Chains A and B, each alone.
Chain A
Amino acid sequence: MSRFRRFAALGLLTCMLVGCSPDIREISDIALVMLTAIDYDEQKRDYVFTINCIDASTNDAQNSAKKLEWIASASGKTILEAARNLRSRAGKILVWQHDKFFLIGEGAARNSLYEVVDFLSRNRDIRLSGYLVVSQGTASDLMRIKSETGDLISNETVGRIKNEQLWGKSLSLTIKDVADYYGNPYRGFVTGKLSRSMPVAGDREVLFLSGGSVIHQGKLAGWLPGKDVLAIHLIIKKKYWRELEFPQTVPFRSAKISLLMRVANRSVRMRQTDGQPVFDVRIGLTGTVLTIDKQVNLANPDTLRELELAAGRFIEGELKASLNRFQQQLKIDVVGFSDIARKYHPQAWKRMEKTWSTAIYPTVPVRVHVDVSIPAIGMSKVLGGD
Protein backbone atom coordinates (compact mmCIF):
# COMPACT_ATOMS: atom_id res chain seq x y z
CA MET A 1 0.00 0.00 0.00
CA SER A 2 2.80 2.41 0.86
CA ARG A 3 4.45 1.51 -2.44
CA PHE A 4 1.21 2.29 -4.23
CA ARG A 5 0.94 5.61 -2.43
CA ARG A 6 4.51 6.44 -3.34
CA PHE A 7 3.87 5.56 -6.97
CA ALA A 8 0.67 7.59 -6.99
CA ALA A 9 2.55 10.60 -5.60
CA LEU A 10 5.25 10.13 -8.22
CA GLY A 11 2.66 9.81 -10.96
CA LEU A 12 0.94 13.00 -9.82
CA LEU A 13 4.24 14.84 -9.84
CA THR A 14 4.99 13.53 -13.30
CA CYS A 15 1.60 14.65 -14.61
CA MET A 16 2.28 18.17 -13.37
CA LEU A 17 5.50 18.20 -15.41
CA VAL A 18 3.32 18.06 -18.55
CA GLY A 19 2.56 21.74 -18.04
CA CYS A 20 6.27 22.45 -18.48
CA SER A 21 6.00 21.76 -22.20
CA PRO A 22 5.64 24.83 -24.42
CA ASP A 23 4.04 22.61 -27.07
CA ILE A 24 0.67 22.64 -25.30
CA ARG A 25 -1.95 24.36 -27.47
CA GLU A 26 -5.48 25.32 -26.48
CA ILE A 27 -8.03 24.67 -29.23
CA SER A 28 -9.32 28.23 -28.99
CA ASP A 29 -5.81 29.55 -29.70
CA ILE A 30 -5.21 27.79 -32.98
CA ALA A 31 -6.18 28.45 -36.57
CA LEU A 32 -6.10 25.49 -38.95
CA VAL A 33 -4.32 26.19 -42.21
CA MET A 34 -6.32 24.40 -44.91
CA LEU A 35 -4.54 25.59 -48.06
CA THR A 36 -1.05 26.90 -48.61
CA ALA A 37 0.28 28.67 -51.67
CA ILE A 38 3.94 29.42 -52.28
CA ASP A 39 5.08 31.89 -54.94
CA TYR A 40 8.48 33.19 -55.89
CA ASP A 41 8.94 36.77 -57.05
CA GLU A 42 11.87 36.65 -59.44
CA GLN A 43 12.41 40.40 -59.48
CA LYS A 44 12.47 40.90 -55.74
CA ARG A 45 13.88 37.40 -55.17
CA ASP A 46 11.31 36.95 -52.43
CA TYR A 47 8.99 34.13 -51.51
CA VAL A 48 5.32 34.92 -51.05
CA PHE A 49 3.57 32.62 -48.62
CA THR A 50 -0.22 32.61 -48.71
CA ILE A 51 -2.50 30.65 -46.44
CA ASN A 52 -6.18 29.95 -46.24
CA CYS A 53 -7.13 29.03 -42.72
CA ILE A 54 -10.15 28.52 -40.56
CA ASP A 55 -10.77 29.00 -36.88
CA ALA A 56 -10.42 25.65 -35.15
CA SER A 57 -12.98 26.39 -32.45
CA THR A 58 -15.93 26.90 -34.88
CA ASN A 59 -16.37 23.23 -35.62
CA ASP A 60 -19.98 23.08 -36.79
CA ALA A 61 -19.68 20.66 -39.69
CA GLN A 62 -23.22 21.34 -40.91
CA ASN A 63 -22.83 25.03 -41.54
CA SER A 64 -19.49 25.85 -43.04
CA ALA A 65 -20.54 29.48 -43.65
CA LYS A 66 -20.15 30.07 -39.94
CA LYS A 67 -16.48 29.08 -40.15
CA LEU A 68 -14.21 32.07 -40.28
CA GLU A 69 -12.13 31.70 -43.42
CA TRP A 70 -9.11 33.93 -43.60
CA ILE A 71 -6.64 34.38 -46.44
CA ALA A 72 -3.40 36.21 -45.89
CA SER A 73 0.00 36.56 -47.54
CA ALA A 74 3.44 37.49 -46.37
CA SER A 75 6.81 37.59 -48.08
CA GLY A 76 10.35 36.79 -47.05
CA LYS A 77 13.78 35.86 -48.36
CA THR A 78 13.10 32.18 -47.61
CA ILE A 79 9.91 30.18 -47.33
CA LEU A 80 10.33 29.84 -43.58
CA GLU A 81 10.87 33.57 -43.18
CA ALA A 82 7.76 34.29 -45.28
CA ALA A 83 5.74 31.77 -43.24
CA ARG A 84 6.93 33.31 -39.98
CA ASN A 85 6.26 36.84 -41.21
CA LEU A 86 2.60 35.85 -41.45
CA ARG A 87 2.51 35.90 -37.66
CA SER A 88 2.53 39.68 -37.81
CA ARG A 89 -1.02 39.42 -39.11
CA ALA A 90 -2.22 36.15 -37.59
CA GLY A 91 -4.33 36.49 -34.50
CA LYS A 92 -3.96 32.81 -33.63
CA ILE A 93 -1.35 30.09 -33.69
CA LEU A 94 -1.21 28.58 -37.16
CA VAL A 95 -1.07 24.79 -37.46
CA TRP A 96 -0.58 22.91 -40.69
CA GLN A 97 -1.59 19.44 -39.61
CA HIS A 98 -4.90 19.53 -41.50
CA ASP A 99 -3.51 21.13 -44.64
CA LYS A 100 -4.02 18.67 -47.49
CA PHE A 101 -3.29 20.95 -50.40
CA PHE A 102 -0.19 22.88 -51.37
CA LEU A 103 -0.24 25.14 -54.39
CA ILE A 104 3.07 26.14 -55.93
CA GLY A 105 3.14 29.16 -58.17
CA GLU A 106 4.57 28.89 -61.66
CA GLY A 107 7.47 31.18 -60.75
CA ALA A 108 8.42 29.10 -57.71
CA ALA A 109 8.09 25.88 -59.72
CA ARG A 110 10.40 27.17 -62.43
CA ASN A 111 13.02 28.76 -60.19
CA SER A 112 13.16 27.35 -56.70
CA LEU A 113 11.28 24.10 -56.44
CA TYR A 114 14.08 22.50 -54.40
CA GLU A 115 13.49 24.75 -51.43
CA VAL A 116 9.74 24.21 -51.69
CA VAL A 117 9.98 20.40 -51.75
CA ASP A 118 12.60 20.44 -48.98
CA PHE A 119 10.38 22.67 -46.84
CA LEU A 120 7.35 20.43 -47.36
CA SER A 121 9.17 17.17 -46.65
CA ARG A 122 11.25 18.44 -43.73
CA ASN A 123 8.53 20.24 -41.79
CA ARG A 124 7.02 17.99 -39.13
CA ASP A 125 3.67 19.80 -39.26
CA ILE A 126 3.09 18.98 -42.91
CA ARG A 127 1.82 15.51 -43.67
CA LEU A 128 3.37 13.64 -46.58
CA SER A 129 -0.11 12.54 -47.67
CA GLY A 130 -0.96 16.13 -48.66
CA TYR A 131 -1.18 16.99 -52.37
CA LEU A 132 1.13 19.25 -54.32
CA VAL A 133 -0.19 21.08 -57.38
CA VAL A 134 1.36 23.75 -59.59
CA SER A 135 -0.62 26.81 -60.58
CA GLN A 136 -0.59 28.46 -63.94
CA GLY A 137 0.32 31.98 -62.92
CA THR A 138 0.59 33.26 -59.38
CA ALA A 139 -0.68 30.88 -56.73
CA SER A 140 -1.83 33.59 -54.33
CA ASP A 141 -4.12 35.09 -56.99
CA LEU A 142 -5.72 31.71 -57.61
CA MET A 143 -6.13 31.18 -53.89
CA ARG A 144 -8.25 34.34 -53.67
CA ILE A 145 -10.80 33.27 -56.29
CA LYS A 146 -14.07 32.57 -54.54
CA SER A 147 -15.42 29.03 -54.60
CA GLU A 148 -18.14 28.23 -57.11
CA THR A 149 -20.39 26.37 -54.71
CA GLY A 150 -20.09 28.74 -51.74
CA ASP A 151 -18.29 26.05 -49.75
CA LEU A 152 -14.87 26.62 -48.21
CA ILE A 153 -12.15 26.86 -50.86
CA SER A 154 -10.26 24.10 -49.08
CA ASN A 155 -13.22 21.72 -49.20
CA GLU A 156 -13.80 22.47 -52.86
CA THR A 157 -10.15 21.97 -53.74
CA VAL A 158 -9.87 18.66 -51.90
CA GLY A 159 -13.12 17.64 -53.59
CA ARG A 160 -11.60 18.42 -57.01
CA ILE A 161 -8.67 16.15 -56.18
CA LYS A 162 -10.98 13.35 -55.12
CA ASN A 163 -12.92 13.80 -58.36
CA GLU A 164 -9.76 13.19 -60.39
CA GLN A 165 -10.42 9.51 -60.18
CA LEU A 166 -13.79 10.03 -61.84
CA TRP A 167 -12.44 11.47 -65.05
CA GLY A 168 -8.70 10.89 -65.14
CA LYS A 169 -7.49 13.99 -66.98
CA SER A 170 -5.92 15.47 -63.90
CA LEU A 171 -3.45 13.78 -61.57
CA SER A 172 -2.28 15.33 -58.29
CA LEU A 173 0.61 13.61 -56.57
CA THR A 174 1.14 13.41 -52.85
CA ILE A 175 4.09 15.23 -51.29
CA LYS A 176 5.62 11.83 -50.57
CA ASP A 177 5.64 10.90 -54.26
CA VAL A 178 6.93 14.33 -55.27
CA ALA A 179 9.78 14.09 -52.73
CA ASP A 180 10.54 10.52 -53.85
CA TYR A 181 10.63 11.36 -57.58
CA TYR A 182 12.20 14.79 -57.18
CA GLY A 183 15.78 13.67 -56.69
CA ASN A 184 15.71 11.05 -59.45
CA PRO A 185 17.84 12.39 -62.32
CA TYR A 186 16.58 9.80 -64.81
CA ARG A 187 12.91 10.63 -64.75
CA GLY A 188 10.43 13.42 -64.45
CA PHE A 189 6.94 13.34 -63.06
CA VAL A 190 3.57 14.95 -63.58
CA THR A 191 1.41 16.50 -60.90
CA GLY A 192 -1.76 18.57 -60.98
CA LYS A 193 -2.21 21.89 -62.74
CA LEU A 194 -4.54 24.52 -61.31
CA SER A 195 -5.63 27.30 -63.61
CA ARG A 196 -8.34 29.90 -63.89
CA SER A 197 -10.78 30.35 -66.69
CA MET A 198 -14.23 31.68 -67.52
CA PRO A 199 -16.64 28.73 -67.59
CA VAL A 200 -19.36 28.34 -70.19
CA ALA A 201 -22.17 30.79 -69.38
CA GLY A 202 -20.25 31.96 -66.36
CA ASP A 203 -20.00 35.50 -65.08
CA ARG A 204 -16.66 35.25 -63.34
CA GLU A 205 -13.45 33.22 -63.52
CA VAL A 206 -13.31 29.98 -61.60
CA LEU A 207 -10.60 27.45 -60.81
CA PHE A 208 -9.98 24.34 -62.90
CA LEU A 209 -7.89 21.36 -61.89
CA SER A 210 -7.14 19.91 -65.28
CA GLY A 211 -4.10 18.73 -67.21
CA GLY A 212 -0.69 18.29 -65.69
CA SER A 213 2.51 20.07 -64.72
CA VAL A 214 5.69 18.35 -65.79
CA ILE A 215 8.58 18.53 -63.36
CA HIS A 216 12.00 17.47 -64.61
CA GLN A 217 15.45 17.94 -63.10
CA GLY A 218 14.05 19.91 -60.24
CA LYS A 219 12.06 22.47 -62.23
CA LEU A 220 8.75 22.94 -63.94
CA ALA A 221 9.39 21.87 -67.53
CA GLY A 222 5.98 22.48 -69.07
CA TRP A 223 2.32 21.60 -69.12
CA LEU A 224 0.45 18.58 -70.37
CA PRO A 225 -3.06 18.41 -71.83
CA GLY A 226 -5.68 16.27 -70.16
CA LYS A 227 -5.55 13.31 -72.53
CA ASP A 228 -1.82 12.90 -71.97
CA VAL A 229 -2.37 13.04 -68.23
CA LEU A 230 -4.96 10.28 -68.63
CA ALA A 231 -2.28 8.10 -70.24
CA ILE A 232 0.00 8.65 -67.23
CA HIS A 233 -2.90 8.05 -64.88
CA LEU A 234 -3.40 4.63 -66.41
CA ILE A 235 0.23 3.59 -66.19
CA ILE A 236 1.40 5.14 -62.92
CA LYS A 237 1.00 3.63 -59.46
CA LYS A 238 -1.89 1.42 -58.50
CA LYS A 239 -3.12 3.78 -55.79
CA TYR A 240 -3.90 6.34 -58.52
CA TRP A 241 -5.58 3.98 -61.03
CA ARG A 242 -7.21 1.59 -58.57
CA GLU A 243 -10.38 3.68 -58.27
CA LEU A 244 -10.07 5.44 -61.64
CA GLU A 245 -13.12 5.70 -63.91
CA PHE A 246 -12.83 7.63 -67.13
CA PRO A 247 -15.10 8.22 -70.08
CA GLN A 248 -13.96 7.09 -73.51
CA THR A 249 -15.80 7.65 -76.76
CA VAL A 250 -14.93 4.97 -79.27
CA PRO A 251 -15.79 5.11 -83.01
CA PHE A 252 -17.53 1.86 -83.88
CA ARG A 253 -18.84 1.16 -87.39
CA SER A 254 -20.49 4.51 -88.17
CA ALA A 255 -21.45 5.20 -84.57
CA LYS A 256 -19.80 6.75 -81.58
CA ILE A 257 -20.12 4.75 -78.38
CA SER A 258 -19.31 6.24 -74.99
CA LEU A 259 -17.97 3.87 -72.39
CA LEU A 260 -17.16 4.37 -68.74
CA MET A 261 -13.85 2.56 -68.28
CA ARG A 262 -12.20 1.13 -65.18
CA VAL A 263 -8.74 -0.37 -64.84
CA ALA A 264 -8.80 -4.05 -63.99
CA ASN A 265 -5.05 -4.65 -64.16
CA ARG A 266 -1.93 -3.04 -65.47
CA SER A 267 1.60 -4.24 -66.03
CA VAL A 268 4.71 -2.55 -67.39
CA ARG A 269 7.65 -4.78 -68.14
CA MET A 270 10.97 -4.44 -69.83
CA ARG A 271 12.47 -7.15 -71.97
CA GLN A 272 15.61 -7.24 -73.98
CA THR A 273 15.69 -7.99 -77.69
CA ASP A 274 19.19 -8.33 -79.15
CA GLY A 275 20.53 -6.46 -76.14
CA GLN A 276 18.17 -3.54 -76.68
CA PRO A 277 15.41 -2.68 -74.21
CA VAL A 278 11.77 -2.89 -75.20
CA PHE A 279 8.93 -1.91 -72.89
CA ASP A 280 5.60 -3.72 -72.86
CA VAL A 281 2.63 -1.94 -71.40
CA ARG A 282 -0.41 -4.13 -70.85
CA ILE A 283 -3.61 -2.69 -69.52
CA GLY A 284 -6.81 -4.53 -68.83
CA LEU A 285 -9.93 -2.34 -68.80
CA THR A 286 -13.56 -3.02 -68.09
CA GLY A 287 -16.19 -0.80 -69.62
CA THR A 288 -19.85 0.03 -69.26
CA VAL A 289 -21.73 1.35 -72.25
CA LEU A 290 -23.35 4.65 -71.42
CA THR A 291 -24.40 6.27 -74.70
CA ILE A 292 -24.59 5.36 -78.39
CA ASP A 293 -25.42 7.95 -81.08
CA LYS A 294 -26.82 5.47 -83.65
CA GLN A 295 -28.58 2.16 -83.49
CA VAL A 296 -26.16 -0.62 -82.65
CA ASN A 297 -27.43 -3.86 -81.16
CA LEU A 298 -24.95 -4.59 -78.42
CA ALA A 299 -27.04 -7.46 -77.13
CA ASN A 300 -25.52 -9.45 -79.99
CA PRO A 301 -22.42 -11.15 -78.55
CA ASP A 302 -20.49 -10.88 -81.82
CA THR A 303 -21.18 -7.17 -82.00
CA LEU A 304 -20.17 -6.74 -78.40
CA ARG A 305 -16.95 -8.64 -78.96
CA GLU A 306 -16.23 -6.50 -82.00
CA LEU A 307 -16.81 -3.39 -79.90
CA GLU A 308 -14.42 -4.66 -77.24
CA LEU A 309 -11.69 -5.17 -79.83
CA ALA A 310 -12.38 -1.79 -81.42
CA ALA A 311 -12.26 -0.06 -78.03
CA GLY A 312 -9.02 -1.81 -77.17
CA ARG A 313 -7.40 -0.76 -80.44
CA PHE A 314 -8.67 2.81 -80.12
CA ILE A 315 -7.39 3.25 -76.56
CA GLU A 316 -4.10 1.63 -77.58
CA GLY A 317 -3.76 4.26 -80.28
CA GLU A 318 -4.49 7.07 -77.83
CA LEU A 319 -2.01 5.72 -75.30
CA LYS A 320 0.63 5.15 -77.93
CA ALA A 321 0.21 8.71 -79.22
CA SER A 322 0.66 10.08 -75.70
CA LEU A 323 3.73 7.94 -75.04
CA ASN A 324 5.22 9.03 -78.37
CA ARG A 325 4.75 12.65 -77.37
CA PHE A 326 6.51 12.00 -74.04
CA GLN A 327 9.43 10.38 -75.84
CA GLN A 328 9.83 12.51 -78.93
CA GLN A 329 8.52 15.94 -78.05
CA LEU A 330 8.84 16.18 -74.29
CA LYS A 331 11.88 13.82 -74.10
CA ILE A 332 11.14 13.27 -70.38
CA ASP A 333 10.49 9.89 -68.80
CA VAL A 334 7.34 10.91 -66.95
CA VAL A 335 5.97 7.40 -66.73
CA GLY A 336 8.94 5.87 -64.92
CA PHE A 337 10.39 3.36 -67.39
CA SER A 338 13.82 4.04 -65.89
CA ASP A 339 12.60 2.82 -62.49
CA ILE A 340 11.49 -0.46 -64.03
CA ALA A 341 14.79 -0.91 -65.81
CA ARG A 342 16.77 -0.09 -62.66
CA LYS A 343 14.74 -2.38 -60.41
CA TYR A 344 14.23 -5.44 -62.56
CA HIS A 345 17.17 -5.31 -64.98
CA PRO A 346 19.99 -3.83 -62.89
CA GLN A 347 22.79 -5.18 -65.10
CA ALA A 348 21.23 -3.77 -68.25
CA TRP A 349 20.50 -0.53 -66.42
CA LYS A 350 24.20 -0.08 -65.59
CA ARG A 351 24.87 0.00 -69.33
CA MET A 352 21.95 2.31 -70.03
CA GLU A 353 22.00 4.86 -67.23
CA LYS A 354 24.57 7.25 -68.69
CA THR A 355 22.73 7.70 -71.98
CA TRP A 356 19.20 6.98 -70.79
CA SER A 357 17.86 10.54 -70.93
CA THR A 358 19.66 11.66 -74.08
CA ALA A 359 19.71 8.63 -76.35
CA ILE A 360 17.84 5.60 -75.07
CA TYR A 361 14.55 6.87 -73.70
CA PRO A 362 13.56 9.01 -76.72
CA THR A 363 13.97 6.02 -79.03
CA VAL A 364 13.14 2.97 -76.91
CA PRO A 365 10.32 0.91 -78.43
CA VAL A 366 7.18 0.83 -76.29
CA ARG A 367 4.54 -1.76 -77.14
CA VAL A 368 1.09 -1.00 -75.81
CA HIS A 369 -1.61 -3.63 -75.52
CA VAL A 370 -5.04 -2.86 -74.16
CA ASP A 371 -7.67 -5.49 -73.47
CA VAL A 372 -11.18 -4.24 -73.01
CA SER A 373 -14.06 -6.26 -71.71
CA ILE A 374 -17.56 -4.86 -71.55
CA PRO A 375 -19.53 -6.77 -68.94
CA ALA A 376 -22.35 -4.22 -68.78
CA ILE A 377 -24.23 -2.50 -71.62
CA GLY A 378 -26.55 -0.40 -69.48
CA MET A 379 -30.23 -0.60 -68.70
CA SER A 380 -31.37 -0.83 -72.34
CA LYS A 381 -30.32 -3.10 -75.17
CA VAL A 382 -31.08 -0.91 -78.19
CA LEU A 383 -33.33 2.13 -78.64
CA GLY A 384 -36.55 1.11 -80.41
CA GLY A 385 -36.00 -2.60 -79.79
CA ASP A 386 -34.24 -5.20 -82.01
Chain B
Amino acid sequence: MIGYFVIAAIAAYGAWHCARLWRRGKLRESVVLGLVSSVVAAYLLPGVRHLPTAESIHAWLYRPLSDYVIEWLNVSTEVNVP
Protein backbone atom coordinates (compact mmCIF):
# COMPACT_ATOMS: atom_id res chain seq x y z
CA MET B 1 0.00 0.00 0.00
CA ILE B 2 2.77 2.40 1.02
CA GLY B 3 4.78 1.21 -1.99
CA TYR B 4 1.98 2.00 -4.42
CA PHE B 5 1.48 5.42 -2.89
CA VAL B 6 5.19 6.24 -3.18
CA ILE B 7 5.42 4.87 -6.74
CA ALA B 8 2.52 7.09 -7.76
CA ALA B 9 4.07 10.12 -6.05
CA ILE B 10 7.54 9.61 -7.52
CA ALA B 11 6.15 8.88 -10.97
CA ALA B 12 4.14 12.09 -10.93
CA TYR B 13 7.03 14.09 -9.52
CA GLY B 14 9.53 12.56 -11.92
CA ALA B 15 7.36 13.17 -14.96
CA TRP B 16 6.58 16.76 -13.97
CA HIS B 17 10.19 17.75 -13.25
CA CYS B 18 11.65 15.83 -16.18
CA ALA B 19 9.39 17.78 -18.53
CA ARG B 20 10.19 21.02 -16.74
CA LEU B 21 13.93 20.48 -16.87
CA TRP B 22 13.74 19.40 -20.52
CA ARG B 23 11.87 22.60 -21.40
CA ARG B 24 14.54 24.67 -19.65
CA GLY B 25 17.24 22.99 -21.66
CA LYS B 26 18.74 21.01 -18.76
CA LEU B 27 18.85 17.75 -20.66
CA ARG B 28 21.36 15.96 -18.47
CA GLU B 29 19.40 16.71 -15.28
CA SER B 30 16.20 15.62 -16.94
CA VAL B 31 17.61 12.27 -18.04
CA VAL B 32 19.22 11.55 -14.66
CA LEU B 33 16.02 12.48 -12.83
CA GLY B 34 14.04 10.19 -15.09
CA LEU B 35 16.48 7.37 -14.44
CA VAL B 36 16.44 7.84 -10.67
CA SER B 37 12.63 7.95 -10.61
CA SER B 38 12.46 4.75 -12.68
CA VAL B 39 14.93 2.95 -10.42
CA VAL B 40 12.99 4.01 -7.34
CA ALA B 41 9.74 2.78 -8.85
CA ALA B 42 11.42 -0.52 -9.78
CA TYR B 43 12.60 -1.04 -6.20
CA LEU B 44 9.14 -0.44 -4.84
CA LEU B 45 7.24 -2.70 -7.23
CA PRO B 46 5.89 -5.58 -5.13
CA GLY B 47 6.85 -8.40 -7.47
CA VAL B 48 10.48 -7.32 -7.73
CA ARG B 49 12.65 -9.10 -5.19
CA HIS B 50 16.29 -9.45 -6.12
CA LEU B 51 17.49 -5.97 -6.90
CA PRO B 52 20.95 -5.11 -5.58
CA THR B 53 21.12 -3.05 -2.41
CA ALA B 54 24.04 -1.29 -0.76
CA GLU B 55 24.02 -4.12 1.77
CA SER B 56 24.21 -6.86 -0.86
CA ILE B 57 26.89 -5.07 -2.88
CA HIS B 58 29.04 -4.43 0.17
CA ALA B 59 28.58 -8.02 1.33
CA TRP B 60 29.55 -9.33 -2.13
CA LEU B 61 32.61 -7.06 -2.28
CA TYR B 62 33.87 -7.36 1.26
CA ARG B 63 32.70 -10.66 2.75
CA PRO B 64 35.83 -12.58 1.64
CA LEU B 65 38.04 -9.88 3.16
CA SER B 66 35.94 -9.77 6.33
CA ASP B 67 36.07 -13.56 6.71
CA TYR B 68 39.82 -13.46 6.17
CA VAL B 69 40.31 -10.77 8.80
CA ILE B 70 38.16 -12.65 11.31
CA GLU B 71 40.02 -15.87 10.62
CA TRP B 72 43.42 -14.20 10.75
CA LEU B 73 42.66 -12.52 14.06
CA ASN B 74 40.98 -15.72 15.27
CA VAL B 75 38.15 -13.82 16.93
CA SER B 76 34.59 -14.80 17.51
CA THR B 77 31.91 -12.17 17.00
CA GLU B 78 29.46 -14.14 19.14
CA VAL B 79 28.66 -12.41 22.40
CA ASN B 80 29.57 -14.72 25.30
CA VAL B 81 26.59 -14.95 27.61
CA PRO B 82 27.11 -17.67 30.24
Report the bound CA distance from A185 to B80 in whole Å.
Answer: 13
Chain B interfacial residues counted at CB < 8 A? 2
The answer to whether the Cβ of B75 comes within 8 Å of any Cβ in the partner chain is: no
Chain A interfacial residues counted at CB < 8 A? 3
The answer to whether the Cβ of A183 comes within 8 Å of any Cβ in the partner chain is: yes
The answer to whether the Cβ of B52 comes within 8 Å of any Cβ in the partner chain is: no
The answer to whether the Cβ of A184 comes within 8 Å of any Cβ in the partner chain is: yes
Report the bound CA distance from A148 to B38 in whole Å.
Answer: 71
B71-82: contact bitstring with A at CB < 8 Å (1 yes, 0 no)?
000000000011
CB-CB < 8 A to A184: which residues of B?
82
Which parts of A312-341 form the interface with B (CB within 8 Å)? none
Report the bound CA distance from A183 to B80 in whole Å.
Answer: 11
A277-292: contact bitstring with B at CB < 8 Å (1 yes, 0 no)?
0000000000000000
CB-CB < 8 A to A183: which residues of B?
81-82
Report the bound CA distance from A183 to B81 in whole Å.
Answer: 8
Report the bound CA distance from A184 to B81 in whole Å.
Answer: 9
Report the bound CA distance from A321 to B81 in whole Å.
Answer: 34
- B58 vs chain A, min Cβ distance (A): 30
B37-58: contact bitstring with A at CB < 8 Å (1 yes, 0 no)?
0000000000000000000000
Report the bound CA distance from A49 to B50 in whole Å.
Answer: 44
Report the bound CA distance from A183 to B79 in whole Å.
Answer: 14
CB-CB < 8 A to B82: which residues of A?
183-185
Report the bound CA distance from A185 to B81 in whole Å.
Answer: 11
Report the bound CA distance from A151 to B23 in whole Å.
Answer: 77
- A20 vs chain B, min Cβ distance (A): 8
A174-214: contact bitstring with B at CB < 8 Å (1 yes, 0 no)?
00000000011100000000000000000000000000000
Report the bound CA distance from A184 to B82 in whole Å.
Answer: 6
Of chain B, the residue at the smallest CB distance from A182 is B82
CB-CB < 8 A to A185: which residues of B?
82
Of chain B, the residue at the smallest CB distance from A17 is B2
- B5 vs chain A, min Cβ distance (A): 10
Report the bound CA distance from A79 to B36 in whole Å.
Answer: 49
CB-CB < 8 A to B81: which residues of A?
183
Report the bound CA distance from A184 to B80 in whole Å.
Answer: 12
- A357 vs chain B, min Cβ distance (A): 13
Report the bound CA distance from A11 to B63 in whole Å.
Answer: 42
A56-82: contact bitstring with B at CB < 8 Å (1 yes, 0 no)?
000000000000000000000000000
- A135 vs chain B, min Cβ distance (A): 28
- A146 vs chain B, min Cβ distance (A): 42
Report the bound CA distance from A327 to B82 in whole Å.
Answer: 23
- B18 vs chain A, min Cβ distance (A): 20
Report the bound CA distance from A69 to B66 in whole Å.
Answer: 57
Of chain A, the residue at the smallest CB distance from B1 is A20
A-B residue pairs in contact (CB < 8 Å), sample of 4: A183-B81, A183-B82, A184-B82, A185-B82
4 shortest A-B CB distances, which residue pairs? A183-B82, A185-B82, A183-B81, A184-B82
